[in-house]
Homo-oligomer: A and B are copies of this chain.
Amino acid sequence: MKATIHITLKAGVLDPQGKAIETALHRLGFAQVIQARQGKLIEIDLDESDATTARATLKDMCEQMLANTVIEDYEITLHNDK
């Protein structure tokens, strides 16, 4: 099973990297940019075929280490193997 995890900063948490991207895009002339935020993308290959178990395991990983839940949210997407 493959999974994609999105880790994003909670609303209201300072995002210096997002801010910097926003400013740089404006400087490059992309005036349409209203806001930019930066997060993390983690792709995991899991030796597990049951989706429910996989999701539970990934949730554990996020809670224990991958995300800092004080400031970050996470979202797990599972992809079925082709």
A residues engaging B (CB < 8 A)?
Answer: 4, 6-8, 18, 21, 24-25, 28, 30, 32-48, 57, 60-61, 64-66
Contact = CB atoms under 8 A, between A and B. Distances in A.
Contact of A43 (B24, B36, B47, B66): B36
A32 B57 contact: yes
Contacts of A24: 65
Task: Specify the main secondary structure of chain A where it touches its partner.
Answer: strand
B46 A32 contact: yes
17 contacts: A6-B41, A18-B42, A21-B65, A25-B65, A28-B61, A28-B64, A28-B65, A30-B61, A32-B47, A34-B45, A34-B46, A35-B44, A36-B42, A36-B43, A38-B43, A39-B40, A39-B41
